[in-house]
Structure 1
Amino acid sequence: MTLLAEHTTTTAAAELEAAEVAVLPVGSTEQHGPALPLGMDHMAAEAFARTATGHDDAVVLPTLPVGVSEHHRQFDGTLYVSAETFERYVAETVSSLAEHGVRKAVVVNGHGGNSGALRRAARTLRQDRTAFAPPWNWWDGVEELADDLFDEDGGHADAMESSLLWHVREDLVRPDELEAAEAGASEGWGESVHGAALGFDTIDFSDSGAVGRPTQADPEKGERLFETGRDRLHALIDWLADRPLEACWPRDHR
């Protein structure tokens, strides 16, 4: 199917009638160090989601580009909303689509900070029997491959993210800034002392805003990541399309 936003209200009717699954890309607009654009997360989510236009039973929704990113607020250009606002916005977007008869969705997520809100939104939609909308984090779909490709714990503007976007949007990656990103990066996400988390904001533990080893980035590795993630997403869409709606709802008490 084509993108929903490119239809008229009359042509959308036939598309929605044939659709079993909606694909909703969500991400963020936030700092990703000196080498990657602010839109890294929503651009990645949108790139994966748009591959679903080849599915006859899927409809791709417009991207939600601002997410739960307050922990990046000290870096220029970062935009954010509260977790409560984001959760409600996603839930109401999916709910509005359910009124048109599409009650199963995959939320393609490009930003880790959105994860909690997305899980809560999915739980509420399912509990109310409005829609079944599990979130899909692209990095979870490529975790094993990323472990083979890169020597890093990573977590943000790292080699994995840099490689993926280098493949998807080569024009927006600044390879000459990868060394600067890594020079000011932390090895892993956050900071702790005796088991207590101290780094509440990214700037508390990363001078450049990056976390990981972005100098390992490579566009060919990014292509492998993208193809692997795409295949996992398509398998999820197929599974969800075949799953009866009644099987998606919470089980009754014994």
Structure 2
Amino acid sequence: MLLHLASWPEVEAYLERSTGVVVPIGSTEQHGPNGLLGTDALCPEIIAREAGEEADFLVAPTFNVGMAQHHMAFPGSITLRPSTMIAALQDWIASLARAGFTRIYFLNGHGGNVATLQAGFSESYAAWSLRGEACPYRLKAVNWWDLPGVQAVCRELFPVGDGAHATASEVSVTYYGYPQAVKTADMSPKIAPTGSFADAADYRARFPDGRIGSDPAQASPEKGARIVAAAKAALIGEVRKFFGA
């Protein structure tokens, strides 16, 4: 059940049987020459949507712009400052809690969100702690690639060249969800270099085509289907445990 395609009476009825909701969260940023700018938001959205349909839980609209300052030298990337993202998270959490949701599970698709997302959770809990009141909700964040069993599938499919950014696995997931958007591009070297970076200019200088350690030319919708199947099954199990906690 997708919140944005439901009416308020349908959400009210859902809350009578469950107070849990999954929020896909990601980013809009470059993913190399053949990766979609929405990859980090699309991956958790695709997985959560399929899991929600199968297990009948509510999926919120995707929080699709995250902390991506280091990608801003590539056209099309959009970022929030960490402080802006934390503030936005407070309003999303407070809105869902106001409606009666007590278990809010963020399925994350962007590594750059992790620190800010956790800081946002701390900010949310702090308001209750400082008032001396018990917080009525619980928050959880999990990266989709860290769901049980997902990495094993990715390693089987891409023993070499999955990489750290613009990975073959994440590009495959988006190609599965949007086969009409499959793209091809010449990439050299075949496997991109690895390393660290600081700001956007440093990133572009070190990784000119946007990839880090990856060969996303290996990506395909068929491989994405296998990854999504594993992630969906794991997410259903994780969500059932969290909602029932």
Q: Say whether residues 1:187 and 2:193 are aligned partners.
A: yes
Contact 1:67–1:80 (8 Å) recurs in 2: yes
1:166 aligned residue: 175
| Paired residue type of 2:207 | S
Sequence identity (%): 30
Cα distance between partner residues in 1 of 2:14 and 2:47? 20
Equivalent AA in structure 2 for residue 55 of structure 1: A
Which residue type is aligned with residue 145 of structure 2?
A: W
- The AA in structure 1 aligned to 2:161 is E
1:54, CA displacement in angstroms?
3.3
Change (3 A) 1:221 1:29: same
Aligned to 1:92: 91
How far apart are 1:209 and its partner, in Å? 0.6
Q: Deviations over 1:43-77 (max 9, x none)?
A: 11211121213334x32111111111110001001
Q: CA RMSD in A?
A: 2.2
Q: Work out the number of aligned pairs and report it.
A: 233
Instruction: Report the alpha carbon displacement of residue 104 of structure 1 after superposing the two structures with TM.
Output: 0.5
Once residues 126 and 242 of structure 1 are traced to their aligned partners in structure 2, the CA distance between those partners, rounded to angstroms, is 20
The answer as to whether partners of 2:24 and 2:41 remain within 8 angstroms in 1 is: yes
CA 1:16–1:204: 2 relative to 1, 3 Å: farther
1:229 maps to what in 2? 231
Distance 1:68 1:185 in 2: 26
Output one character per residue of 1:179-205: Cα deviation in whole Å (capped at 9) or x when no partner. Answer: 32x5386332525xxxxx799843132
Pick which of 64-73 and 143-152 moved more: 143-152
The equivalent of 1:247 in structure 2 is: none
Q: Which sections of structure 1, spanning at least 5 residues, go unmatched?
A: 192-196, 244-254
Q: Cα–Cα, structure 1 residues 121 and 214, in superposed 2: closer, same or farther, change >3 Å?
A: same
In the aligned structure 2, how far is the partner of 1:200 from the partner of 1:135? Answer: 30
Q: Distance in 2 between matches of 1:46 and 1:220?
A: 18
1:42 shift after superposition: 1.1
CA–CA distance in structure 2, aligned partners of residues 155 and 121 of structure 1: 25
Q: Which residue of 2 aligns with 1:8?
A: 7
Q: Where does residue 131 of structure 2 map in the other structure?
A: none
Q: Structure with the greater relative contact order (CA < 8 A, sep ≥ 6): 1 or 2?
A: 2
CA contact (8 A) 2:22 2:59 kept: yes
- Who is 2:67 aligned against? 68
Q: Which residue of 2 aligns with 1:134?
A: 140
Number of the residue aligned with 2:242: 240
The residue aligned with 1:20 is: 19
Q: Distance in 2 between matches of 1:65 and 1:199?
A: 19
2:155 aligns with 147
CA distance in 2, matches of 1:130, 1:172: 42
**Distance (whole Å) between structure 2 residues aligned to residue 40 and residue 99 of structure 1:** 30
Matched, 1:204 2:205: yes
Unaligned runs of 5+ in 2: 129-134
The 10-residue stretch of structure 1 (227-236 or 212-221) with the greater mean CA deviation from structure 2: 212-221
TM-score by length of structure 2 reads: 0.86
